[in-house]
Amino acid sequence: MNGVLDIQDIPKMLEWYLAFLFSTTLHEAAHAWTAWKLGDDTARRGGQVTLDPRPHIRREPIGMVVVPLASFWFGGWMIGWASAPFNAYWAVQYPRRAGLMAIAGPLSNLCLALLAGLAIVAGVAIHLFQAPAVLQFGHMTEALNGGWAEILASVLSILLSLNLLLGIFNLLPLPPLDGASMLLLFFNRQTAAKIFGVIRHQTVQFFGIYFAWKWFGYVFRPVQRLVTHLLYPGVFY
């Protein structure tokens, strides 16, 4: 986009934003629902055990509205964040439950990416979609003909790319990402309490985000190539 939004870009922006809203809301609702079922109803009392994006937007308006739209404006795709509250005392008392809560969010995104991928494979099988001439993030398939199939191909491409990114990025074992809290699954309460204190330290979280962005490409690109191979066996980019 290079900072210039043309009127023709608005439909694509809406596709991206609806996909972002649904994917991010699903991620946070998965956190909230898992915590509730495992004994912490903090997020449920905040109204976040829901696929309605409004409670999540109210909690994180910058990450759910401003940053996604700005990232599309300047880069042509969307990124942002949301959050679900939880009881830190509960997490320390039940570290394995907290670890399951943490992994629920990215797993929900990977499940959504899987569904989008299966829909693309089905579309290829019935000659609705084909491998794109140029593979790009957010452009994982294209319609053989125009019309509604072109819109569907675009939406599925965005859902696959975005949820693959959200799932893998959040599984990196670096604070404040979910992958760091997932480590609580493997330690006893005393050790987990020490780890929990470290990963919630603001300085540690700052460096965690820095290294996550720095290293993410080395993790994501091989996964993206694998997914592409599974979608289109024998096709190489």
Tell me if residue 152 falls in helix, strand or coil.
helix
Amino acid letter at 174?
A: L
Ordered DSSP codes for 179-236: HHHHGGGGS-HHHHHHHHHHHT-HHHHHHHHHHHHHHHHHHHHHHHHHHHHHHSTT--
Q: What is the pLDDT of residues 174-194, one digit of tens each?
A: 999 999 999 899 988 899 889
Q: What is the pLDDT of residues 28-61, one digit of tens each?
A: 999 999 999 999 999 999 999 999 999 999 999 9
Q: Which of 15, 28, 60, 150 is the catalytic position?
A: 28
**In this structure, what token pair is assigned to residue 56?**
């999540």
Whether 123 contacts 153, CB under 8 Å: yes
Question: Which phi and psi (to 5°) does residue 167 adopt?
Answer: -65, -50
187-221 CB burial, b ≥16 within 10 A, e <16: beeeebeebbeebeeeebbeebeeebeeeeeeebe
For residue 134, give the nearest of 157, 163, 166 by alpha carbon: 157
Amino acid letter at 181?
A: S
Going 203 to 176 to 168 to 120, the CA torsion angle's sign is negative
Confidence of residue 4 (pLDDT cuts 50, 70, 90): low
Mean pLDDT to the nearest integer, 109-119 = 98
Q: Any catalytic annotation for residue 15?
A: no
DSSP 127: T
Backbone dihedral region of 208: left (phi > 0), alpha (psi from -120 to 50 degrees) or beta? alpha
pLDDT at 236: 83
Q: Within a 10 A sphere around the Cβ of 69, how many other Cβ atoms? A: 17
Q: What is the pLDDT of residues 74-101, one digit of tens each?
A: 888 999 999 999 999 999 999 999 999 9
Give CA–CA dist 122/61, Å, rounded: 36
Give CA–CA dist 215/35, Å, rounded: 30
For residue 3, give the nearest of 79, 104, 97, 71 by alpha carbon: 71
Q: What is the pLDDT of residues 126-165, one digit of tens each?
A: 999 999 999 999 999 999 988 899 999 999 999 999 999 9
Give CA–CA dist 102/185, Å, rounded: 10
Give CA–CA dist 38/18, Å, rounded: 30
